[in-house]
Structure 1
Amino acid sequence: MIICVRLRDGAALPDLLGVAEDISPVAQALPPDTALIDVAGARRYFGQDAAGIASVLRVRALAHAGADCAIGVAATPLPARMAARQAAYGTTLVVADDPRELAAFLAPKPVTALPGVGAATARTLRTYGLDTVGKAAGVPLATLQRLLGVRVGREVHEKALGIDRTRVVPDEGARTLAAERAFGHDEVDRDAQRRALLSAAGELGGRLRDSHQVCRSLTLVVRYADGSTTQRTRTLPEATAHSPALTATAYRMHDALGLQRARVRAFSLRADGLAPEARATRQLTLDPADERARRLEETADRARARFGPSAIRPGTLAA
């Protein structure tokens, strides 16, 4: 059985993995805010079913990581992830290991609820009236492959039927840091979106410097009003924890997406490929402005450490 945990605050994901690994060594991070845990081997040890282990995990996550979460439980990762997205924070939703109950759970969901089904695929399916998982499941495989292509058609067909061939793969999920910024409404204003990215990049930079780490790449995840997402990753010119460098990269990814009319619900910015600061190499520069910026950043870090995270922040975010 699989437990999927969705955090209210994605920044607690590394701490959650530490708690999860005390229950089962088979834990996988799905940044920015989710983790999968295979508890097949833990049920006998704890003397409980997967739902009971989920309760233990929730208590430990709250006690040791201060992490509020929603939990989904199912036989395979796909329905567990969907259940975690449906569950309210502080609750657990269990999908029984029964084909009829699984089909009943999946059928009313919009096709965008299937992991991996993005906006373009969903638009194509909706054009032909296939707006729910149940409707997509009722269409022959050959039809979906004509509409979506051979590979994507097969993937959608299997997912709609609840067929899940994935496994939980233990990884180094703690080698990432994430910051999420959600909007109180569907945000279309570019300046407001860039302020959110500036804030998230500043948070990531501060956390990296506090932990004496640098990151090698940055990932931007955009969540839209219809629940679909777009993800972009860009490798940095050099491993860094410098907030302006992270912000500039986030802005370039944002500009490349062309979100002029998109209704954005949330941004998640993730620092990947973390490494100790001592191992990082930095390109020498003769630019005095860059050196001043780095010295100012060090001074601001000291002020925030003494007076709180909001003691110093960019003027753009002060309004």
Structure 2
Amino acid sequence: MTSTSVIWHVRYRPDTSPEDYRHVLDLLAGFTPQVQPLPPLAALAQVKGSLRLFGVDAGELAARFRVRALVQTGIDTHIGVADTWATAATASARVGRSGVLHLPDHRAVEHFLAPLPVHALHGIGPAQAGQLQRYGLHTIGALAAMDETVVCRILGGKAGRTLRARARGIDPRAVAVQKMPESTSQSFAFDRDVYDPVLVRAALLDLAVTLGDRIRSRRQTARGLTLAVRLAGGATTERTKRLPQPSAHTEDLRTGTLRLLDAMAFQRARIRRLTLTAADLRPAEQGPGTQLSLDHAREARLRLEPVIDKLNARYGHRVAGPAAAYRKAS
């Protein structure tokens, strides 16, 4: 049995815990050894080698996996099946009631992608989608049909070429088999849908402070941050940022978190839930030492960090903390 659709993009529910995420990854490894975790809410799997073993095509095998995950772990997953990473990821967000969307050939890919709004393309940011729409490119099909030179002028050379190729169903990235990096997450759910940027930023800063306390207590450092935002309509968007150097400092985590939020370019979007993940955690002794900078205010804050940690350990979580984390909410 042959199939050109060999990549699964497995999308988890926004409220999936880190423990449940790992359980489904373990189950996925029973279907194929070629798994790439995309924490906190997705994973990739290359299943071409598994099709002959199970005797079904990639879409039918995905349906089997989804049912087994639901029965054995109680976790509902959505799976996009295609021959490229970006197309499978775009499909997994639009699976419908079946939970699986299989695009078996290029014609099916083109038919699926062309009418979708341009912001639905996997990997495109809200600001980039807005730029394309201002030039009249409202659908993925319009982006795919536009001359590459024009798209590069709108979005820049590398981004323009990459996103136009993905709109045409082209994505050379392969599934990179790797172990699940250790991570830790913290979520905040608003009691109502909010679009006040002051409230959103204050909640994010609080999440960054909490994660900083946690990973320092474990004597670890984070190499990256992932911000997942659940919107009022139920859609979830996420973005990942690599830190300049591994860090557990609240200052660095807060700065990285706010840059993630700014990169998402939310304006009047109503937000329901925020999930911040400190990813690729390593023992602190494996990271570089703290470098002295010329920012005297930053150096003073870093010197206060151990004092704050001791106060919190003695008198209770979040008794003390950086004042800047709260000024935004006042």
Task: Give the superposition deviation at 1:197.
Answer: 5.5
2:11 is the counterpart of 1:6? yes
Structure 2 counterpart SS, 1:42:
helix
Alignment check: 8 A CA contact 1:181 1:200 kept: no
Q: Distance in 2 between matches of 1:4 and 1:169?
A: 13
Cα separation, partners in 2 of 1:56 and 1:205, compared to 1, 3 Å? farther
Corresponding residue of 1:308: none
Alignment check: 8 A CA contact 1:69 1:90 kept: no
Alignment check: 8 A CA contact 1:218 1:269 kept: no
Q: What amino acid does structure 2 have at the position aligned with 1:137? A: A
164-173 vs 7-16, greater mean Cα deviation: 7-16
Aligned residue among 293, 304, 315 for 2:312: 293
Alignment check: 8 A CA contact 2:185 2:275 kept: yes
Corresponding residue of 1:140: 147
Corresponding residue of 1:234: 243
Q: Distance in 1 between matches of 2:224 and 2:132?
A: 31
Task: Give the superposition deviation at 1:179.
Answer: 4.2
Aligned residue among 243, 252, 255 for 2:255: 252
Aligned residue among 204, 220, 223 for 1:217: 223
Q: Which runs of 5+ in 2 are unaligned?
A: 1-5, 291-301, 320-330
Corresponding residue of 1:109: 116
Corresponding residue of 1:242: none
Q: Which runs of 5+ in 1 are unaligned?
A: 240-244, 301-319
Taking every aligned residue pair, what percent have the same amino acid on both sides? Answer: 28
Task: Give the superposition deviation at 1:270.
Answer: 1.5
Aligned residue among 85, 91, 96 for 2:93: 85
Q: What amino acid does structure 2 have at the position aligned with 1:253? A: G
Q: What amino acid does structure 1 have at the position aligned with 2:222? A: R
Q: What amino acid does structure 2 have at the position aligned with 1:17? A: L
What do residues 274-305 of structure 1 show as CA deviations (whole Å, max 9, x unaligned)?
Answer: 2368989999989654323124569x9xxxxx
2:156 is the counterpart of 1:149? yes
TM-score, length of structure 2 as denominator length? 0.72
Compute the RMSD of aligned alpha carbons.
3.9
Cα separation, partners in 2 of 1:267 and 1:2, compared to 1, 3 Å? same
TM-score, length of structure 1 as denominator length? 0.74
Structure 1 residues 296-311: aligned runs within 5 Å: 296=315
Corresponding residue of 2:59: 51
Cα separation, partners in 2 of 1:142 and 1:279, compared to 1, 3 Å? closer
Structure 2 counterpart SS, 1:67:
coil
Task: Give the superposition deviation at 1:107.
Answer: 0.9
Structure 2 counterpart SS, 1:173:
coil
Task: Give the superposition deviation at 1:164.
Answer: 2.0
2:89 is the counterpart of 1:70? no
Q: What amino acid does structure 1 have at the position aligned with 2:256? A: M
Q: Distance in 2 between matches of 1:148 and 1:281?
A: 35
Alignment check: 8 A CA contact 1:103 1:161 kept: yes
Q: Distance in 2 between matches of 1:288 and 1:168?
A: 44
Structure 2 counterpart SS, 1:35:
strand
Aligned residue among 270, 275, 280 for 1:273: 280
Structure 2 counterpart SS, 1:117:
coil
181-190 vs 9-18, greater mean Cα deviation: 181-190
Cα separation, partners in 2 of 1:162 and 1:68, compared to 1, 3 Å? same
Cα separation, partners in 2 of 1:220 and 1:249, compared to 1, 3 Å? farther
Q: What amino acid does structure 2 have at the position aligned with 1:234? A: L
Corresponding residue of 2:323: none
Question: How many residues are treated as equivalent by the alignment?
Answer: 292
Task: Give the superposition deviation at 1:236.
Answer: 7.3
What do residues 214-249 of structure 1 show as CA deviations (whole Å, max 9, x unaligned)?
Answer: 34234142548697655444367755xxxxx65x65
2:27 is the counterpart of 1:19? yes
Q: Distance in 2 between matches of 1:46 and 1:285?
A: 58
Q: Distance in 2 between matches of 1:10 and 1:233?
A: 22
